[in-house]
């Protein structure tokens, strides 16, 4: 299979696989237990936590393991809701209109219960945060801001420096979803714009770790309301027995995927691979733009090096049927998507593209192709040939 859907999920990488194979025999224990099996498991969890913290530039105590990126996002949103409710009857939470559905749905849920008011922050036609809209949202009392690092559909990397300036001026709790950014661009919680975020979400399966493990970075001095109350795991911030093997793999995968961004550390194989991936993405983009009138979403903005969101036209000038193209490619063993994996199967236009002002017909012509480790030039050529054939036949 040719796999050009790495933004949906990644295969388990060599680093994670190696870590799983080297786990001590007693790692099956419950890390909360005090006998040898529990201690062995706790050591595995501590190592994974330390590795993740190191690549983020965080303290180990600031890492809260979750069941995935969605749980991390929703935990941050509901923390904002309850903190806001302590100050006023209805919390006021601003959010970027292209946020991950987990963020938007959590805010909508709180709003439906009368606990919060969602304040949308617009994006430009290129998918970048509209700073005028952000300024307008911050004019009133604000209990939180959800503004992502990089968009999962278009790959647009937000202007975090400009966001941070405003967050510091207003003293707003900013939650940043870095799920799609981690491993592709630097995610360092004490550096640059991200230094103003109070919480940051990550997901293991976007980095070459198994599914079902994520993390919420919680800056020292920030409290979070546990979405899952009960035990005292994760310092009382997230209950439930630790997923020891998944945490071990997450730590190893994060070190392999993000370590090259750490100052003073060798770029490593992954960083070199990112350069190749960016070159392949650019070659793919150039080839597909040969279909005159096709549009790259987010063009001209900083983008993740692996991501291409493109609305395709047929040689006759008509907008293509992206869903039909995706299914036809799948029959040929080529995996791409029409947008976010969590929205596949929906007949409504992409919420991200709609927020950017893209028409419904153009959104329906959009494919997302996201590359990753292991992709090569021959695969790009094969995908381009397949699309040329399908579009010419259409």
The domain limits of the chain are 2-11+268-393, 14-261
For the chain, the C-alpha Rg in angstroms (whole number) is: 21
392 burial type by CB count under 10 A (0-12 exposed, 13-18 middle, 19+ buried): exposed
CA distances for 393 relative to 84, 124, 362, 369, angstroms: 56, 35, 19, 21
In three-state secondary structure terms, 85 is helix
Measured distance CA(155)–CA(138) in Å, rounded: 26
Q: How far apart are CA 194 and CA 189, in angstroms?
A: 5
Tell me, what's the pLDDT at 90? Answer: 95
Angle at 70 between CA 351 and CA 323, to 5 degrees: 40
For tokens 């202007």, the residue is 159
Distance of alpha carbon 193 from alpha carbon 362, whole angstroms: 33
- Nearest CA to 156 out of 119, 129, 179, 188 is that of 129
Extract the runs of DSSP E, i.e. beta strands, from the chain: 2-3, 63-66, 91-96, 116-121, 144-146, 174-177, 199-203, 214-218, 295-296, 307-311, 334-335, 366-370
How many CB atoms neighbour CB 262 within 10 A?
A: 16
Phi, psi of 181 (to 5 degrees): -80, -35
d(CA 15, CA 196): 31
From the list 305, 315, 313, the residue with the least C-alpha distance to 284 is: 305
Tell which residue, 48, 73, 357, has the closest CA to residue 201.
Answer: 73
Domain 14-261 has CATH 3.40.640.10: yes
pLDDT at position 340: 53
Bridge partners of 145? 94, 174
251: DSSP letter: H
> Which candidate, 3, 4, 7, places its Cα nearest to that of 340?
7
**Cα 220 from chain centre:** 23
pLDDT of residue 348: 83
Q: What is the pLDDT of residue 135?
A: 98
Along the 394 residues of the chain, how does pLDDT read in single tens digits?
999 999 999 999 999 999 999 999 999 999 999 999 999 999 999 999 999 999 999 999 999 999 999 999 999 999 999 999 999 999 999 999 999 999 999 999 999 999 999 999 999 999 999 999 999 999 989 999 999 999 999 999 999 999 999 999 999 999 999 999 999 999 999 999 999 999 999 999 999 999 999 999 999 999 999 999 998 999 999 999 999 999 999 999 999 999 878 754 444 555 568 899 999 999 999 999 999 999 999 999 999 999 999 999 999 999 999 999 999 999 999 999 997 555 555 568 999 999 999 999 999 999 999 999 999 999 999 999 999 999 998 6
C-alpha span between 60 and 224 (Å, rounded): 16
How many CB atoms lie under 10 A from the CB of residue 170? 15
Q: 168, 196 in Cβ contact below 8 A? A: yes
Interstrand relation of 307-311 and 295-296 (parallel, antiparallel or unpaired): antiparallel
Residue 217 burial by CB count (10 A; 0-12/13-18/19+): exposed, middle or buried? buried
Handedness of CA 163, 185, 371, 281 (dihedral sign): positive
3-state secondary structure of 391: helix
Measured between alpha carbons, how far is 373 from 15 in angstroms, rounded to an integer?
13
> Tokens representing 175?
């939650």
What does each C-alpha distance from 327 to 33, 265, 312, 345, 350 come to in angstroms?
Answer: 49, 42, 15, 12, 18
Query: Dihedrals φ, ψ of 93, to 5°?
Result: -125, 120
What pLDDT does residue 266 have? Answer: 43
Name the CATH topology of 2-11+268-393: 3.90.1150
The residues that are catalytic are 342
Distance CA 152, CA 24 (A): 36
The answer to pTM > 0.75 is yes
């Amino acid at each position: 299979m040719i796999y050009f859907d790495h933004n949906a999920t990644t295969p388990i990488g060599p680093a994670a696989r190696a870590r799983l194979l080297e786990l001590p025999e007693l790692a099956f224990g419950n890390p909360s237990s005090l006998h040898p099996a529990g201690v062995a498991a706790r050591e595995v969890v501590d190592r994974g936590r330390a590795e993740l913290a190191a690549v983020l530039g965080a303290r180990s105590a600031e890492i809260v393991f979750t069941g995935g990126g969605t749980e991390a996002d929703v935990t941050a949103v509901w923390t904002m809701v309850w903190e806001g409710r302590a100050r006023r009857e209805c919390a006021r939470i601003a959010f970027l209109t292209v946020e991950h559905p987990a963020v938007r749905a959590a805010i909508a849920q709180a709003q439906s219960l009368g606990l919060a008011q969602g304040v949308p922050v617009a994006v430009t036609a290129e998918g970048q945060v509209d700073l005028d809209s952000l300024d307008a949202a911050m004019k009133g009392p604000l209990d939180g801001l959800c503004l992502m690092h990089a968009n999962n559909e278009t790959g647009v990397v937000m202007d975090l420096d400009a966001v941070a300036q405003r967050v510091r001026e207003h003293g707003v709790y900013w939650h940043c979803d870095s799920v799609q950014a981690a491993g592709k661009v630097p995610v360092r919680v004490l550096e640059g714009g991200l230094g103003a975020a109070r919480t940051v979400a990550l997901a293991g399966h976007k980095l070459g770790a198994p599914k079902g493990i994520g993390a919420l970075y919680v800056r020292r001095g920030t409290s979070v309301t546990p979405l899952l109350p009960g035990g005292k795991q994760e310092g009382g911030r997230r209950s439930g027995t630790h997923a020891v093997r998944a945490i071990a793999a997450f730590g190893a995968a994060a070190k392999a995927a993000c370590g090259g961004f750490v100052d003073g550390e060798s770029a490593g194989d992954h960083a070199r691979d990112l350069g190749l991936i960016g070159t392949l993405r650019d070659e793919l983009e150039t080839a597909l733009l040969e279909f005159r009138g096709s549009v790259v979403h987010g063009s001209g903005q900083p983008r993740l090096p692996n991501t291409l969101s493109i609305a395709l036209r047929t040689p006759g000038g008509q907008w293509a049927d992206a869903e039909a193209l995706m299914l036809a490619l799948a029959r040929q063993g080529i995996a791409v998507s029409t947008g976010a994996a969590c929205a596949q199967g929906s007949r409504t236009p992409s919420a991200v593209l709609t927020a950017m002002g893209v028409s419904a017909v153009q959104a329906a012509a959009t494919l997302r192709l996201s590359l990753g480790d292991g992709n090569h030039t021959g695969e790009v050529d094969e995908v381009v040939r397949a699309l040329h054939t399908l579009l010419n036949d259409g």
